């Protein structure tokens, strides 16, 4: 709830703009009270306006956005998420002047992200309305492979020569600093443009004016290659602790920089994708409130349909032990808790492994050690849970105490083995380890659990 007043309007028309809510905005738009609407939002900060626009429908957001002065519109556009930016750009197709200003004012890396979300033909049309210089920058960034570091970088940075004096460097900063996206670090190149170091502004300010840049260099720096995968950038940022990193080509020529805010966006996308995969669904890159029913259906049906057939296998295994079930009906009472225990253990193991792989704590070479350790943990878990289920069986069905307790231990061990092994198996197959999802592990645990439980029952009870 916002709480600043606009008092420039007649008393009968005062609107508490800082107390304006999304419903009031929708009402003003619906009733075409555009003058009141302009005044209502005129004292809001750009990020507040962006938040309101993101809550509106595409049509209402377009109406409100068109009412903003061009300079304010550019600033608000910067704060809007990519999904809403895409909708706005498509609705502003006939306003080329506003579109050109919005695109020109965007950071090159943010503009690249927007172009990635747009249909190819439309993105080409937008490239045409850019100035030749900005168009060249946009085309260069879009030419890098998808999900590469080159797509994330911006050419807006300051590079200095190692033979500059400190005074020359400070003069250079004053002249060109406004064009740089970051100012806390400057990148040092040789005369051919090859990256040789980075220096902090603090070190420059503390050095004598007649010193050279080379004299304060330590020749220690972290950098990225433009063709590297974005996950590489995540790891380097985490290790270095920098807020920006230089990007070079394969020869070391400095091309641009990547800032930490772009990396945070990548981390969010990666985490979202992993969560979706863990739940056995395709990556959903839209707000579910805005996504259509058919879109959500397409993203979820494939895995669910596959899992249905895997569960049919569970039923087939169960049917093969029909005579055992008829002979000892009490076996059915313990089946759900035994099977669920295997799935839960496997899910825990898989989640632990997948997260460790994602953070770089675990590599494929660690598979054997992890399996051995996880089986040890699973044995302790299985024995503890086996004692618990045996206590229940002693009251409910004493004749199957040995079966349920041995089954619990075995099923938990199998669940842990499956949960630990599958992520590494998917890596070997060149797939994302998060594909080893919880429903998949649960299905495998169900089938093997039923097989183990009733095989033991048939063997020990007869």
Superfamily of chain region 45-143: MgtE N-terminal domain-like (1.25.60.10)
- Which residue(s) pair with 154 in the sheet? 257
**How far are the Cα atoms of 83, 381, 383, 422, 445 from residue 413, in angstroms, in the given order?**
45, 9, 10, 14, 10
pTM: 0.55
Give the neighbor-by-neighbor strand order of the sheet with 195-200: 159-161, 185-189, 195-200
Give the chain's end-to-end CA distance (angstroms, integer): 70
Residue 414: the pLDDT is 93
Q: For 351-398, write each residue's pLDDT tens digit.
A: 888 878 777 788 888 888 888 899 999 999 999 999 999 998 888 888
450 Cβ contact partners less than 8 Å away, ≥ 6 residues apart = 314, 317, 318, 321, 335, 339
Task: Report domain extents, the chain.
Answer: 45-143, 159-259, 293-461
Which tokens is 72 given? Answer: 């304010």
Closest CA to 110 of 145, 72, 71, 155: 155
Q: For 45-103, write each residue's pLDDT tens digit.
A: 888 888 888 888 888 888 888 888 878 888 888 888 888 888 888 887 777 778 888 88
- 3-12, 44-53, 310-319, 342-351: segment of lowest average pLDDT: 3-12
Superfamily of chain region 159-259: CBS-domain (3.10.580.10)
Closest CA to 407 of 386, 376, 429: 386
Q: Which fold does the domain 293-461 belong to in CATH?
A: Tetracycline Repressor; domain 2 (1.10.357)
| pLDDT averaged over every residue in the chain | 81
Closest CA to 102 of 111, 112, 94: 111
Q: Tokens 């805005």 identify what position?
A: 290
């Amino acid at each position: 709830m916002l709480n600043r007043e606009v008092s420039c309007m007649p008393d009968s028309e005062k609107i508490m703009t800082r107390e304006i809510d999304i419903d009031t905005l929708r009402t003003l738009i619906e009733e075409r009270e555009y003058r009141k609407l302009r005044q209502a939002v005129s004292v809001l900060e750009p990020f507040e306006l962006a938040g309101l626009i993101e809550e509106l429908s595409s049509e209402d957001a377009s109406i409100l956005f068109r009412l903003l002065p061009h300079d304010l519109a550019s600033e608000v556009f910067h704060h809007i998420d990519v999904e809403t930016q895409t909708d706005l750009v498509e609705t502003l197709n006939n306003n080329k002047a506003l579109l050109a200003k919005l695109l020109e004012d965007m950071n090159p890396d943010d503009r690249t992200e927007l172009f990635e979300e747009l249909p190819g033909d439309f993105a080409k049309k937008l490239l045409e309305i850019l100035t030749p210089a900005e168009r060249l920058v946009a085309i260069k960034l879009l030419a890098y492979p998808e999900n590469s570091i080159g797509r994330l970088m911006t050419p807006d940075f300051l590079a200095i020569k190692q033979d500059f004096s400190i005074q020359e460097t400070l003069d250079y900063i004053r002249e060109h600093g406004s064009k740089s996206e970051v100012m806390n670090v400057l990148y040092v190149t040789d005369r051919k443009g090859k990256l040789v170091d980075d220096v902090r502004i603090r070190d420059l300010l503390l050095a004598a004016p007649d010193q050279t840049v080379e004299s304060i260099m330590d020749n220690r720096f972290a950098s990225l290659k433009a063709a590297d995968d974005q996950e590489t950038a995540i790891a380097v940022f985490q290790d270095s602790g920098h807020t920006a990193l230089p990007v070079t080509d394969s020869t070391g020529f400095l091309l641009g920089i990547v800032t930490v805010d772009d990396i945070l966006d990548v981390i969010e996308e990666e985490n979202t994708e992993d969560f979706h995969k863990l739940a056995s669904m395709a990556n959903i890159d839209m707000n579910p409130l805005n996504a259509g029913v058919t879109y959500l259906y397409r993203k979820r049906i494939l895995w669910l349909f596959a899992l249905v057939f895997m569960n049919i296998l569970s039923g087939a295994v169960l049917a093969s032990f029909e005579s055992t079930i008829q002979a000892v009906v009490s076996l059915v009472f313990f089946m759900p808790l035994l099977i669920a225990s295997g799935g839960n253990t496997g899910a825990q193991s898989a989640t632990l492994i997948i997260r460790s792989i994602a953070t770089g704590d675990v590599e494929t070479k660690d598979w054997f050690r992890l399996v051995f350790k996880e089986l040890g943990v699973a044995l302790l878990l299985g024995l503890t849970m086996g004692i618990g289920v045996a206590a229940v069986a002693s009251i409910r069905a004493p004749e199957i105490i040995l079966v349920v307790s041995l089954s619990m231990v075995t099923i938990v061990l199998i669940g842990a083995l499956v949960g630990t092994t599958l992520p590494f198996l998917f890596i070997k197959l060149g797939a994302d380890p998060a594909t080893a999802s919880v429903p998949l592990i649960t299905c495998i645990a169900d089938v093997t659990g039923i097989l183990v439980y009733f095989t033991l029952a048939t063997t020990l009870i007869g």
